[in-house]
Each structure stands twice: as C-alpha cells, then as structure tokens.
Structure 1
Amino acid sequence: MATERTLILIKPDGVKAHHIGQIITRIEDKGYSIDGLKVTMATPELLKKHYVEKVDKPYFSEIEHYMLEGPIVAIIASGSRVIKGIHTLAGDTSPNQAAPGTIRGDFGRMFDDGILRNVIHSSDNPQNAEKEIRLWFPELIPQP
C-alpha cells in the first residue's frame, strides 16, 4: 500500500486547552509519521483558500472567526491509509456525535448557543491533502 500524506490542523481551541501533545501522541501511537509541524496563525486570505467551497456559505464567518481566535498547530502526517486513519481518530465532526476515545469525542465541545469547537481538521482525500499541505506549508514547495 502506498504511503499517503495528510494535513492536520489542531485548531485554536485545541491549542488553548493544551491538547497538542495528546493529539500528536495519538497520531504517533497509530504508527503515522510526523513529517512537518509548526505553530502558525491563520489569516483571512489563507482561510478563504483553505475553505474555498464554504466561503459563500452563511456560516463561513463563524468558521473564519473560530480559526482566527489564536495559534494553530499545522501537521503533515504520513503513512498507509493515513487520511482514513486520522478521520477515524478525529471522530465525527460534531463533538456531541463523536465517540468517546476519539479526539473530538474527548476534547471537542458543542455549546448550548450552537457554537462548535471540534479541535481538529484533517484532509478528506489525497487531492485536498496535497492542496492543503501546499497552503499551510508554502516553505516546502520547491522554488525554481
């Protein structure tokens, strides 16, 4: 089986709650490699590129506000079937639906006012993974 790469973002709520180490440990305990890691801040321009399919949605401003709340840890992970594996580790997008033992089930929150804090993003397919890696790790793109 070919090695895949994926982008993982530990969102501002995960960083603020000090879950970085626990999340990385879960990734490594599954046998995936960490090939890139940095603490960064999102920008409105970067978020518009990352969430290009959601920019025109009425809820995009909430996503943008959430992702601009603080630092983000961006990770490139690789391994056999890493995209599916990280999705399984992350759990359902909604923390209230995510199983205990998953990252979102253990660390995510859905507040009474409908505010969603789901701690982590991971790429959903190999094409998006490579696109997202180029967006969040432009320094890794070979220069001519």
Structure 2
Amino acid sequence: MMEKTFVMIKPDAVKRRLIGEIIQRFEKRGLQIVAMKMVDVDKELAKKHYAEHKDKPFFKDLIKYITSSPVVVLVLKGKNCISVVRKMVGATDPKEAESGTIRGDFALEIGRNIIHASDSPESAEREIKLFFKNSEIFEYNMPDADIIYE
C-alpha cells in the first residue's frame, strides 16, 4: 500500500551535520521524498506537534530542545513506508535501538535521539498538515519504481 509519512531530523542531527547521511538512507532504500524543508520550530508549533506529551514531566525540556535550532522536515512516500521508516529509525531509546538503524548508529540518549517519524497513518496525516501546505507536497514518478516495487 502506497502511503506517506512524516520525518523530522531533529536539532542534534542538524548540529552534528547528519542531514545528508540520514536522507541518503531513505533514498537508498527506495523511498520517495515528496516534500522537504528546513524550519525553525516555534513554541506554538512544538506544543502542537508534541501535544500527546503535554502532561509528561519531560514536556518542557522537549519543547526547549526542539526549538533550539532548525530542523529538517520531510514527507516520504512508498509502499508501507510508515512501518519501513519506523524500522529504519529504530527504538525511541537509542540504548535499545539496533545497530544499522539511524538511532542505533548515531544516538546515545533518549532526549537526543536524532529523528522523529510518524507512528501511524493518523499521526502522519496530522504531522504533515502541521508542517506542510498541500502546495509544498509534490507528486512525481520515479523512473526506477519498477525496479524497486514488484
């Protein structure tokens, strides 16, 4: 099933110059980038994005962290891409993330875990709408799609 997912390359990855490495992994896997930009996340947007954590003790620190530097946001498209991307990203706690995953290879602390990826179709839709206008999401054919997909 073709679907779209939302990915955020977080401040720690931006500051560590890992943007290209992370994006390259998605492209090499065969996923299609249909939207991408660098943004400053203000407090209002951060609170909307992380609304499900508003009552948790780490919420204030999370908002401070995500607004500390620009982030890169992407919309990826592909068959079952939500689950594919989540597997590529690895466990939320990098200590539990397997080697070969983005977090397993680049992160050590849960509060600096490099990347966010939507965990469901509903989350993907909500997060995409928070960060992108419809006019910023592109549809185009990949010339190698018949090599990637059966």
TM-score relative to the length of structure 1: 0.90
Cα distance in structure 1, aligned partners of 2:46 and 2:16: 22
Shift of 1:11: 0.1
Which of 102, 122, 127 in structure 2 is aligned with 1:127? Answer: 122
Identity of paired residues, percent?
43
Q: Distance in 2 between matches of 1:101 and 1:31?
A: 17
Contact 2:62–2:111 (CA under 8 A) maintained in structure 1? no
In the alignment, structure 2 segments of 5+ residues that lack a partner are: 137-150
Contact conserved, 2:5 with 2:124, CA < 8 A, in 1?
yes
Structure 1 residue aligned with 2:147: none
TM-score by length of 2: 0.86
Show the counterpart of 2:73. 74
Ranges of 4+ aligned residues in structure 1 off by more than 2 Å: 138-141
Match of 2:133 among 126, 129, 138: 138
How many angstroms does 1:45 deviate by?
0.6
Question: How much has 1:59 moved relative to structure 2?
Answer: 1.1
Distance 1:140 1:123 in 2: 21
- Shift of the alpha carbon at 1:56? 1.9
Tell me the CA shift for residue 18 of structure 1: 0.7
Contact persistence 1:91–1:102 (CA under 8 A): yes
Give me the whole-angstrom Cα distance separating, in 1, the residues matched to 2:48 and 2:38.
Answer: 19
Instruction: Describe the SS at the equivalent of 2:105.
Output: helix
Once the two structures are TM-superposed, the CA of residue 139 in structure 1 deviates from its matched residue by 5.8
The letter of the residue matching 1:50 is H
Q: What code does the residue aligned with 2:74 have?
A: I
1:99 corresponding residue in structure 2 = 98
Q: Which has the larger share of helix?
A: 2
- Which residue of 2 is the match for residue 20 of structure 1? 19
1:134–1:140 contact (8 Å) kept in structure 2: no
How many residues end up aligned between the 2 structures? 136
Aligned CA-pair RMSD? 1.3
Structure 2 residue 113 is matched with structure 1 residue 118: yes
Give distance in 2, aligned partners of 1:31 and 1:80.
10
> SS of the counterpart of 2:78?
strand
Q: Which residue pairs with 1:37 in the alignment?
A: 36
For 2:131 and 2:108, locate their aligned partners in 1 and report how far apart those are by CA, in whole Å: 25
Q: Which runs of 5+ in 1 are unaligned?
A: none
Corresponding residue of 2:88: 89
